[in-house]
Structures are given as structure tokens and as C-alpha cells.
Structure 1
């Protein structure tokens, strides 16, 4: 991981279910392809697998400005706090323009008032080796790439966070996590 942040975004939504009825780790590693797609118009596919080392991995394909293929590996996996790290492929603006970025996806659930839960979804995008060189080859200044990524990330996070909250709420309401 490098220290160069490209973009970062935080969004919140309310889950109409008590905190003790929610398990974010189970949610992220069992969300189906169709459920993931229903959470955002830009979600294309999702699946779960294991790394060679046996860690859980969530694979997501989505449009966040560019087409993104993410391989999120568990870093923190608790009922109310999950942090996943991905060395992701960013493809665009055309199919031949492909580079790697690091995406850190972290989300939490905190008890709120009257049996409600506050869901916070945070995404941080960082440069990976070769990213700055790819920008230079295309003649794109880092500041321009960062500004475009920030706009796309804010819009995407604002779209997916309420969708994630609805999916978690539906599962919590059905008693999935006791």
C-alpha cells in the first residue's frame, strides 16, 4: 500500500433493526449476486471465495467512474465492524486502459435510538505500484484523476449505502442473525 490517497468517501444510512440482530461479516460474505446488484444501479456482480491462505474474500464488479474488479480480503471481521482490502483492477475510460489501485472498504454498525442502527460505509482508494506511471503515460495529472475519482466515489457511495442498509435490514428483520 502507498500513502497516496486518490479518493475517500463516507456515507451513512439507518437500519430499522437493533444492533444485536445484525452481523456485518456474515452479510458481506454471504450476499448473493442478485442481492448485491439490487443495492446499486452500478453493481454488476458479486461472489465470495477464499484466498490461497484461507482468508475470506468478496469479489465485486461495479462501475465507479471506471469499471472496477475488486478482490476484497478480510482484514477486520466482526459482527459490527468489517474492514476489507483489495488490490483492484480499474478499467477505463476504454477497455485498453487498465491499472491497479488499492481499495479499502470499511463499514460499521452502531446502536441508535429506538432499536435502530446507524450503518456507516467508508471507502478509501489509494495508488498501487504502476498507477502514477499509467496516469503519466495517458497525460492525466494526478489532481485531475483524483478529482474525477472523488466525484464518482461520492456518487457511488451515496447510491449503494442505503441499498446495503435495506438489504441488512431485510435480513435482520427475518431473524437471520438471531
Structure 2
């Protein structure tokens, strides 16, 4: 019950876009995620992004493992690929969060989308939505924090983080697409 996700409550929600130049047909977000090196991940949010990796879950579902700071919390995300397409990925993680007060969990939904604007102009949209777990709600109550307070703090931290990483993700995806194009030329 502790890890039951409260989808009726939103802890944070951020949607940030960035325009880049890339050949749309060479963009493959799913493959970019599966081959994203730790150091490139770190460059996408300097100081916040700590490590990235790729694995599969017990049932064979592809997973992206991301470790990052969101505000004062160290977040260990174990994203399962729910949708893994070249221009859209939906990743869902039951994430462990180390706060100054101890460990808790949240659900994080990460959506990555690339749309063609015209020619080689593309728009990357980075959407991150977090829901509390029952354990998270119990954790904040034990520490005297109301949900509205926790949500406000997480919204500020997540929004700030997404504004930093989104343009860098877009540029990284565009570089990956350009390198892929050069290999097939």
C-alpha cells in the first residue's frame, strides 16, 4: 500500500519546449535514451544530473535509470518505457527520493516529444508529471508538512530543473540525429 500511487493528486507538472535544427526523420528519441552516456546526461543539467544508464526490468521491459537532484532531493528514477517511438516516448518511474529528512517515493511520468515545424526545424517538448505515493503522503505528514506545501516546493524545483534540461535535451537529441545521419550518408 505504501507505494500505491495517488494519481488523483499532482505533486508537480512541467511542460517546457525548445526549438532545434535537426532532420526529423533522423530523430529517434527511444534510441537516444537507450544510448545516452552518463556524461552527456550530466551536460543536460550540469550539477543536477548525476548518472544515466539503460537496462531491462525482470519482464524484459526497457528501462532508463536516471539519478538527479531535484531541488534538495536526490531522485533515483527507474523509468519503464511505456511508449518507445522515434518521436515520442512515455516513461514511468516509481522513484526513490532521498530528502534531507530521509527516503520516500513518488511516481514520475516523463514524456519526450519531437515535432516537425517545417524543413529541418523541430520542437522538442519535455513534460514531467509527478504524483505522490501513499508512502510519500505519510512521510510528509510525519514531518509536519501539508501536501500543498510539498507540492509547491516540488513544483518550483521541478519547473526550474525542466527549464534547464529541456533546451539541452533538445540539442543533444539534435546532435544525435545529425551524427546518425552522417553514419547513413
TM-score range for the pair, normalised by the shorter chain length:
over 0.9
Residue among 38, 57, 60 paired with 2:63: 57
Residue among 134, 150, 154 paired with 1:149: 154
Deviations 1:61-95 (A, max 9, x none): 0001111000000101111010000000111124x
1:166 Cα deviation (Å)? 1.1
Matched residue of 2:41: which SS?
Answer: helix
Q: TM-score, normalised by structure 2?
A: 0.92
Q: How does 1:106-125 map to 2 (within 5 A)?
A: 106-125=111-130
Moved over 4 A (4+): none
The reply on whether 1:34 has 2:36 as its aligned counterpart is no
Matched residue of 2:164: which SS?
Answer: helix
1:171 Cα deviation (Å)? 1.3
Aligned residues: 176
1:173 Cα deviation (Å)? 1.4
Question: Which residue in 1 is equivalent to 2:171?
Answer: 166
Matched residue of 2:142: which SS?
Answer: helix
Question: How many angstroms apart in 2 are the aligned matches of 1:123 and 1:98?
Answer: 21
- For structure 2, the 5+ residue unaligned runs are none
Question: Which residue in 2 is equivalent to 1:138?
Answer: 143
Deviations 1:89-124 (A, max 9, x none): 111124xx1101000000111001231111000000
Question: Which residue in 2 is equivalent to 1:129?
Answer: 134
Question: How many angstroms apart in 1 are the aligned matches of 2:158 and 2:119?
Answer: 31
Question: How many angstroms apart in 2 are the aligned matches of 1:59 and 1:141?
Answer: 30
Question: How many angstroms apart in 2 are the aligned matches of 1:49 and 1:129?
Answer: 27
Question: Which residue in 1 is equivalent to 2:86?
Answer: 79
- For structure 1, the 5+ residue unaligned runs are none
Cα RMSD (Å) of the superposition?
1.2
